[in-house]
Amino acid sequence: MIRNYDYTDAVKSIVVCGDIHGEFEGLVHKVCVQYRMTDTLVIVAGDCGFGFRKLSYYKMLYNCRIRSRLERRNVYIAFVRGNHDDPDYFKGDTIHFNHFRTIPDYSVISACGQQILCVGGAVSVDRVKRVAGKDYWTGERPVFDHNKMIELKYEGFQIDTVVAHCAPSFCENIMPPDWVFQLAEADPTLLEELKSDRMIMDTILQDLKVYHHPLRRWLYGHYHHSWQSTIEGVGYTLLDCMELKEISIRTKRGQVT
pLDDT of residue 248: 83
Sign of the torsion angle spanned by Cα atoms 169, 171, 172, 174: positive
Q: What is the pLDDT of residue 93?
A: 87
Handedness of CA 156, 159, 163, 168 (dihedral sign): positive
* Cβ pair 221, 239 in contact under 8 A: yes
The pLDDT score that the predictor gives to residue 250 is 55
The span from the CA of 150 to the CA of 213, in Å, is: 12
d(C-alpha 38, C-alpha 53), whole Å: 29
Q: How far apart (Å, rounded) are the C-alpha atoms in residues 95 and 2?
A: 18
Domains of the chain and any CATH numbers: 4-249 (3.60.21.10)
Q: Please tell me the predicted confidence (pLDDT) of residue 92.
A: 83
Percent of the chain surpassing pLDDT 70: 96
Cβ neighbours of residue 211 closer than 8 Å, sequence gap 6 or more: 149, 150, 152, 153
CA distance 148 to 164: 15
Return d(Cα 107, Cα 118) in angstroms, integer: 6
Q: 138 to each of 70, 89, 103, 214, 222, how far by Cα in Å?
A: 33, 14, 19, 34, 17
Q: Could you tell me the maximum CA-CA distance found in the chain, to the nearest angstrom?
A: 58
* Low pLDDT (below 50) residues in the chain: 251-254
- In whole angstroms, give the CA distance from residue 139 to residue 47: 14
The pLDDT of residue 249 is 64
